[in-house]
Amino acid sequence: MAENSLPLLSFELGTLPPTPKPTDDDSDDGHPGNPRRWYHYVPLFAVLSLLAPHPSILHVLLNYHYLTLRMPQYFVIHLLVIYTLSFLAFSSLIVCVARDPGPVPDAQSEAQTNDAGGEISLEVALLSTPPEDYTQPGKWCRICWKPKPERTHHCSQCGRCVLKMDHHCPWLGAKCIGFRTYTSFLHFLASITLLAAYVAVVCIRGLVFAFSHPLAINEMTPVHMLILSFAGCAFAIIIGSFLGYHVYLHKSNDTEHISPFVLLRHLPPLPPCRLSSPPLEYQLTFAQRRAVRAAHARMSLYDVGWRRNAGQVLGIGTKHRWQAWAARLLWGGSCYGTGTQFPRNPRADDVLTELAVELVRLENSAN
């Protein structure tokens, strides 16, 4: 055989293409997930049609306040208030639809951010947990194979994990409400509630005048008032109740409906027993499950007081106060922090230690 002959087969391995890094833009088109079809945007178009400048509102304001009552100042005031609230609702709706609700960073980029001296508050530095160890159970999503920081949930409809995911909303373009869009979502709910209540009050007062002075007003104006009054009251009650429920959740900082069994991930190391460390939900007996629920009822893991909870959710505490308040008034602003670490309840360590002791006691008594 010739000395310089070439082999028949070559097993040289080519270099793999680099893994694309997630971009930090305001669109989630670059994230893998379930593609959206045209019918996913039908509920969004319905919301836009309700917020659009309605001819009935202009008809009522023009025929009742301007032509009948001869009060142009009321006409101008009501027009400004109604369309200012409509503009605020549109602005927060655009943010909820266009902004990524919460991209999950990979472990390497998060470590680089922490090493670079990211800007965090003193409260987060003192009360938050150390950097995540993604080798622990529950710290790595087994569906989309990405790091899963605390308060991160996987959305089966979007096919991805979202930081501090609250819920998947089909009315907002089939998008999730997460860490980066939650304040805008609250702003949208508040704007819609105020707009619906204001229109209802204006039209109900007009109906009272129309019934007492039936010949002084155009015959079609009371019909528009009746329809707007009914729609305004319905939306104010439904959306207002949803907004009130979220405000109630802020009291315990449990906006994403944390499961009681999330406490198992944060337990101190258990002594050798049948349970793993940390224990998994399916390993627990009925008595142990009841103990976990009782501990969760006594303490919410991220409850740091209602004032700090509201400040954390609404983003209060940033350096640029005027810019932050302007953004908060226009479209809701943004939450405070990075979305991967959150301050915890000061009583969390004591309650978790007691829960670990109780689980071990129940395990020994069962054996």
Distance (Å, whole) CA 241 – CA 231: 15
The DSSP symbol for 3 reads: T
Q: What tokens were used for 337?
A: 């922090």
d(CA 329, CA 186): 11
The DSSP result for 215-282, as a single string, is: TSS-TTHHHHHHHHHHHHHHHHHHHHHHHHHHHHHHTTT-TT---GGGGGGGPPPPPSSSS-SSPPGG
Nearest to 258 by CA among 316, 172, 344, 144: 344
Rg (CA), the chain: 27
In our burial notation (b when 16+ CB lie closer than 10 A, e otherwise), range 319-341 reads eeeeebeebbeebbbbbbbbbbb
176 is catalytic: no
Residue matched to tokens 């009272």:
208
CA of residue 29 relative to chain centroid, distance: 19
Separation of alpha carbons 52 and 304, rounded Å: 40
d(CA 159, CA 35): 9
Which of the residues 169, 176, 203, 335 is marked catalytic? 169
Please measure the distance between the N-terminal and C-terminal CA atoms of the chain and give it in whole angstroms.
Answer: 74
List residues bridging with 155 in a β-sheet.
160
Instruction: Answer whether 89's CB lies under 8 Å from 188's CB.
Output: yes
Tokens 């315990």 sit on residue: 252
Question: Contact 337/312 with Cβ under 8 angstroms?
Answer: yes
Residues assigned a catalytic role: 169
